[in-house]
Amino acid sequence: MRFVIVTGMSGGGKATAIKILEDEGYYCVDNLPVRLIDKFMELVMMPASDISKVALGLDVRADKPFAYVEEVLTALRERGVPVRDPVHGCQR
């Protein structure tokens, strides 16, 4: 399972990044409320699911419990989803 979170403010390029990831075969969801990430991932990780790459776009202003993302990432690690440290800015 590959799981990518794209964050930023409106106009920061999230939609463009999501479109690129979608072109690369990722199942993409933009503006999913942070509190729904764990439930969404439960569904995606069901044995019958054929989704192997997921990208979520999160607006850092849109959801007050944005700090909850770290809790979600910890829970995903515990489920065996490899979670890497955040990458800031563009990587070339």
User: Percent of the chain, pLDDT > 90?
Assistant: 18
Would you say residue 91 has pLDDT above 70? no
The single-letter code of the amino acid at 63 is D
Average pLDDT over every residue of 46-70: 78
Q: Is 37 exposed, middle or buried (0-12, 13-18, 19+ CB in 10 A)?
A: buried
Instruction: Give the pLDDT of residue 12.
Output: 82
Token output for 7:
């964050």
* pLDDT (tens digit per residue) in 22-41: 999 999 998 888 888 888 88
Residues 6 or more apart in contact with residue 46 via CB below 8 angstroms = none
**Residue 7, H or E segment:** strand 2-8
Across 44-55, average pLDDT = 89
pLDDT of residue 23: 96
**Does the model's pTM come out above 0.85?**
no
pLDDT band for position 19 (cuts 50, 70, 90): very high
pLDDT of 64 reads 57
